[in-house]
Structure 1
Amino acid sequence: MDTLDPDEQAFWQLYNELNPPSSSMENLSREESPSTDACSLCGPSTMEVDMGPSFQPGISFLSLPENAKIKILEYAGLLRPCLIDISSECVRRNPNIQPLCNRSSMRETQGSWTAFVDRGCTHPRLPTALFQTSRAVRDEIGSMFFGLNRFSAMLYRKADFCQFRDATLWGMEHLKYLHIDLGPCDRRFLKLYGGVHRTIMKIWVAFCDLAAVRMPSLTYFSLKCRVKDLEVAHKLMCAMDHFPSLAQCAIHLNQYQENDIRAVVKRSCWRLTNNLGDRPPFGFLRLPKEVQLLILEQLLINRPDPYIMASECPKGLVTLQDRRRQRPTIYPLTCCGTCSPLRAMCFCYARQTAFSTTCSCFTSPTPYFLVSRGFYEDARRVFFSKNNFAFTDEDPELIMRLLHYIPTSSFMQIRHLTFKFPLTFRSPARTAHRVEDAALLSWSVLRRFIREHFDIPRLSLTIIDLGTKNYGNGATQSRNKYLRKLLKAFADLRGLRDFRVYLADERSYERDAERAVLGFACHGRSKPSHMPFIGQKHLNT
């Protein structure tokens, strides 16, 4: 037999290490009849002789290093990145083995904007037959199975709790990631009533007792339950008093904001993660100034705004709008993508009665402004000079009301300002010119305000119009005429550092509008690689 090349030697070495010949079969082969065949198991083959001392039979799965075991279990389908629903895993129907699941990130899917594009998990059923190989194999891979996978369970009735307990009791001490969906099966709000409500409360108390005794490794936990009564929320949170210490915790109780209940949820999450109570102060002011500014940039800039779609939200974009109004389906929000370590659902605070210790959504910088005078100056300079502030409404009077409470000293530090005109629905036969004239007059007042309160030579202004949507062409033509008048009037802001325009319905007029403000400075410059609220495919058209 010819000598094998190094690649073939490496392959057969790995093959024989992962598939060692059984010693009993070797003995049986020797007793029956020795063979001179090269593929015989009774003695070394020519291939094994050529491979020399590198071939060492007898290496089993249990003797492999841990990272190799994890890789094998991933290929086998026993470890997966997707959430494993204990309640429905037994009825999964997907015979095709697909080691990679083509699911989008939470930032793209866990929000009313784009929830419809999320695909279901395409992994096949868990190969639980591997646990029946032997007691040693079960004990070895059981800790990896429960410690590395992410589990969820629906506790809608007593049978669900019994199923969860019986399925995980043998490895519950290794359970690390868990999401619980609690509540009546008919999706009603949980109350302090009898019947199914009392049963759900008993199930929850029993689960909390089980977690306190049998889940010492539980580190990442999230809970969903429909609650709108403060007393019910108190009772749910009190049952978690003896929970194990967590690293990350998230709780969701209502799809609408209830500030009283959210305060209870927030306190419970901080208590479960050992972040409640007196802690030694952090010596922030003793750090070098450069390090202080880097920390402030992480706190005040690199935060996704939940009011902007994920595909349109670059870092450092902050929308100025009324954030206190309720957000029904017609005003959806976007998930930050970090609020749930289990990728179970969205726990962002801005859209519902929920709290997560890992939510990274944009929040008001007011608490940082109130620390001290020196801290206020540094935080204000970072917040206003590094962020791009955007108005998402076309009404200049509403914009003026939002600007009314910001001091002029803060306006002077703003470097990027964006006006986004939302997609409009116009009737083709619109003849009310008085409305447009009033709007142009209000815009002139707003431009004068910008000249008087902003640092014009350092200000970059962007105007984005998403166009019209109708079944005729009359509305688009009327809209374009109005926008031409409006953009020509921006010539009184000459001296801007930069001026960019995007017109969805009239891309050819963009250069003329920019030239009216910047003059010859806009000649020869390239198109921007990215603009807020505009996808890359639309920008290049």
Structure 2
Amino acid sequence: MDTLDPDEQAFWQLYNELNPPSSSMESLSREESPSTNPCSLCGPSAMEVEMSLSFQPGTSFLSLPETAKIKILEYAGLLRPCLIDITSECVRRNPTLQPLCSRSSMRETKGSWTAFVDRGCTHPRLPTALFQTSRAVRDEIGPLFFGLNRFSATLYRKADFCKFREATLWGVDHLKYLHIDLGPSDRRFLKLYGGVHRTMMKLWVAFCDLAAVKMPSLTYFSLKCRVKDLEVAHKLMCAMDCFPSLDQCAIHLNQYQENDIRAVVKRTCWRLTNNLGDRPPFRFLQLPKEVQLLILEQLLINRPDPYIMASECPKGLVTLQDRRRQRPTIYPLTCCGTCSPLRAMCFCYARQTAFSTTCSCFSSPTPYFLVSRGFYEDARRVFFSKNNFAFTDEDPELIMRLLHYIPTSSSMQIRHLTFKFPLTFRSPARTAHRVDDAALLSWSVLRRFIREHFDIPHLSLTIIDLGTKNYGNGATQSRNKYLRKLLKAFVDLRGLRDFRVYLADERSYEKDVERAVLGFACHGRSKPSHMPFIGQKHLNT
């Protein structure tokens, strides 16, 4: 017979004590009553002692270990991974029958405003009635509630600040995560004017004083405020001089990039996280060479490109394009997902006036190239040989202008090159071929440049055409005819290490052009499991 584990043994022992067999109950009923048994006057019987020991109170919530309390509070709904808006939590209308939230951590900007791609939080309202159980329970779970949850507050008027202060006063000293949305209620830019602008400035100074005195545990902080004047940014940042020391800080002031304001924001974030001032240098060059290369790979390769959609961005993919264009509606940005532990909004630096001490987006490697000659050689070799460089425009002249900035000694180290032809709205078939002929001529110049400045035997080339989007068939046929001419001309790049083609409108022609460029090398090779910009969902169609 199998033995029971300790928990099952304890359960059945308690069950037998609460439900004794009928024979024991009959024997207990036949015992003498206390009036006839003189021993009962002296003290409890053995049966009474055993029963009293078995009914002693068990372990209470207050005596549980902290990990068990956290699990219970998560199950009860007092601890949640999503952001808790103190201002609007009281009017939450989500049903309590769906306590689980399917909100993911990946974010991406839409147009001019930063927003979540997936749906909003579906958690039910916080069960704040649990705090009224007893004073001991409130004092016990208060530090966990304020220390583990992520809070946000909108400060659009003085009443919002008073509500925030009164709601958190009893546990604000344990507050660890906080996001503030500051500004006039009509979402105007903050100015150095009177009226509501002066009220906002006074409110912000009062909040900073409250944080300095009442929030010693504040560790992760982020701020959003619409500012486009340098003087206003200076005044906002100076009010944060009394802030407690932070581990992570993020500030967003404008959806468009203002370099002079961003410098002020960056300095404030570094100062609040104690990263300014003289610090002992890190002796990087004294590390083993293998460790140095691993660090450089982490800095120069494993960085998501904010100009690529999250579903199309594998590790090590870098786009060569104009990163200063201010058209967020046409070219949306993708958030790295690490710029804010609060998950309030995107604080990535790319094309907006924002800064985060934890942003992991790809940035220019130029600062690493300027350290020293030896550091430059190692960083250049890692950056150019391990990354996949992609062009997102179809114009060969623009590609040539971008490639001219790369020295030949660096382009010789590039191992992966990708050309992405974006999805376009094509007009019906054109009567003249002058435009196509001019483009083919420019592509021939580009191919000659690749032969002269790239290491062809070690270069892998990928061409991805996302096709046409037109209600008629004439545009697709004309486009396919042009692509056939273009791809056949890549025969003059024979000797490539690898050559892959993806044609959304003509998948049957892919093998033919790959065979023409690679020859017998393409026979018997397996299909790729993943390609840039299309992932793997379209490869098997």
Does the alignment reach a TM-score above 0.5?
A: yes
Equivalent-residue separation in structure 2 for 1:273 and 1:388 (angstroms): 34
Q: What residue is the counterpart of 1:171 in the other structure?
A: 171
Equivalent-residue separation in structure 2 for 1:440 and 1:144 (angstroms): 66
Q: CA 1:144/1:489 → structure 2, altered by over 3 Å: closer, same or farther?
A: same
Quote the offset at 1:330 in angstroms.
1.2
Query: What whole-Å deviation, never above 9, does each CA across 1:289-314 have from its counterpart, x for those lacking one?
Result: 00000000000000000000000000
Q: What residue is the counterpart of 1:295 in the other structure?
A: 295
Quote the offset at 1:329 in angstroms.
1.2
Quote the offset at 1:501 in angstroms.
0.2
Give the SS at the match of 1:39.
helix
**Bigger Cα displacement from structure 2, 102-111 vs 187-196:** 102-111
Query: What whole-Å deviation, never above 9, does each CA across 1:441-483 have from its counterpart, x for those lacking one?
Result: 1100000000011000000000000000011011001000000
Equivalent-residue separation in structure 2 for 1:162 and 1:113 (angstroms): 28
**Bigger Cα displacement from structure 2, 28-37 vs 384-393:** 28-37
Q: CA 1:19/1:357 → structure 2, altered by over 3 Å: closer, same or farther?
A: farther
Q: What residue is the counterpart of 2:304 in the other structure?
A: 304
Contact 2:110–2:333, Cα closer than 8 Å, also in 1: no
Q: CA 1:312/1:26 → structure 2, altered by over 3 Å: closer, same or farther?
A: farther
Q: CA 1:37/1:91 → structure 2, altered by over 3 Å: closer, same or farther?
A: farther
Map 1:103-502; keep pairs closer than 5 Å. 103-107=103-107, 115=115, 117-502=117-502
Equivalent-residue separation in structure 1 for 2:184 and 2:29 (angstroms): 62
Equivalent-residue separation in structure 2 for 1:359 and 1:36 (angstroms): 84
Indicate the structure (1 or 2) with the bigger Cα radius of gyration: 2
Give the SS at the match of 2:390.
strand
Query: What whole-Å deviation, never above 9, does each CA across 1:142-176 have from its counterpart, x for those lacking one?
Result: 00000000000000000000000000010000000
Q: CA 1:158/1:8 → structure 2, altered by over 3 Å: closer, same or farther?
A: same
Q: CA 1:412/1:129 → structure 2, altered by over 3 Å: closer, same or farther?
A: same
Give the SS at the match of 2:130.
helix
Quote the offset at 1:120 in angstroms.
1.2
Equivalent-residue separation in structure 2 for 1:268 and 1:135 (angstroms): 40
Q: CA 1:5/1:490 → structure 2, altered by over 3 Å: closer, same or farther?
A: same
**Bigger Cα displacement from structure 2, 349-358 vs 95-104:** 95-104
Quote the offset at 1:41 in angstroms.
24
Q: CA 1:513/1:53 → structure 2, altered by over 3 Å: closer, same or farther?
A: farther
Q: CA 1:44/1:421 → structure 2, altered by over 3 Å: closer, same or farther?
A: farther
1:80 matched to 2:80: yes
**Bigger Cα displacement from structure 2, 25-34 vs 517-526:** 25-34
Give the SS at the match of 1:152.
strand
Give the SS at the match of 1:351.
coil
Equivalent-residue separation in structure 1 for 2:32 and 2:129 (angstroms): 33
Q: CA 1:157/1:394 → structure 2, altered by over 3 Å: closer, same or farther?
A: same
Query: What whole-Å deviation, never above 9, does each CA across 1:376-434 have from its counterpart, x for those lacking one?
Result: 00000000000000000001000000011111000100000000000111111322311
Contact 2:96–2:125, Cα closer than 8 Å, also in 1: no
Contact 2:94–2:125, Cα closer than 8 Å, also in 1: yes
Count of aligned positions: 541
Q: CA 1:19/1:136 → structure 2, altered by over 3 Å: closer, same or farther?
A: farther
Contact 1:111–1:346, Cα closer than 8 Å, also in 2: no
Q: CA 1:309/1:41 → structure 2, altered by over 3 Å: closer, same or farther?
A: farther
Equivalent-residue separation in structure 2 for 1:52 and 1:272 (angstroms): 60
Contact 1:180–1:224, Cα closer than 8 Å, also in 2: yes
Quote the offset at 1:362 in angstroms.
0.3
Q: CA 1:42/1:138 → structure 2, altered by over 3 Å: closer, same or farther?
A: farther
Give the SS at the match of 2:394.
coil
Contact 2:324–2:351, Cα closer than 8 Å, also in 1: no
Q: CA 1:508/1:41 → structure 2, altered by over 3 Å: closer, same or farther?
A: farther
Contact 2:109–2:332, Cα closer than 8 Å, also in 1: no
Tell me which stretches of 4 or more aligned residues in structure 1 moved more than 2 Å.
Answer: 1-58, 95-100, 106-117
Quote the offset at 1:116 in angstroms.
6.8
- Cα RMSD of the aligned pairs, angstroms, is 5.5
**Bigger Cα displacement from structure 2, 71-80 vs 114-123:** 114-123
Quote the offset at 1:108 in angstroms.
5.6
Equivalent-residue separation in structure 2 for 1:78 and 1:19 (angstroms): 37
Contact 1:20–1:58, Cα closer than 8 Å, also in 2: no
**Bigger Cα displacement from structure 2, 324-333 vs 42-51:** 42-51
Query: What whole-Å deviation, never above 9, does each CA across 1:268-301 have from its counterpart, x for those lacking one?
Result: 0000000011111000000000000000000000
Query: What whole-Å deviation, never above 9, does each CA across 1:49-101 have from its counterpart, x for those lacking one?
Result: 99999996331000000000000000000000000000000000122243421
Contact 1:458–1:496, Cα closer than 8 Å, also in 2: yes
Equivalent-residue separation in structure 2 for 1:44 and 1:469 (angstroms): 91
Structure 1: which 5+ residue stretches go unaligned? none
Q: What residue is the counterpart of 1:6 in the other structure?
A: 6
Equivalent-residue separation in structure 2 for 1:23 and 1:232 (angstroms): 87
User: How many percent of aligned residue pairs carry the same amino acid?
Assistant: 93
Give the SS at the match of 1:106.
coil
Give the SS at the match of 1:462.
strand
Equivalent-residue separation in structure 2 for 1:421 and 1:495 (angstroms): 23
Equivalent-residue separation in structure 2 for 1:22 and 1:411 (angstroms): 91
**Bigger Cα displacement from structure 2, 474-483 vs 6-15:** 6-15
Q: What residue is the counterpart of 2:511 in the other structure?
A: 511
Contact 1:339–1:356, Cα closer than 8 Å, also in 2: yes
**Bigger Cα displacement from structure 2, 6-15 vs 468-477:** 6-15
Give the SS at the match of 2:463.
strand
Q: CA 1:160/1:20 → structure 2, altered by over 3 Å: closer, same or farther?
A: farther
Equivalent-residue separation in structure 2 for 1:295 and 1:446 (angstroms): 34
Equivalent-residue separation in structure 2 for 1:494 and 1:520 (angstroms): 11
Q: CA 1:519/1:269 → structure 2, altered by over 3 Å: closer, same or farther?
A: same
Contact 2:411–2:454, Cα closer than 8 Å, also in 1: yes
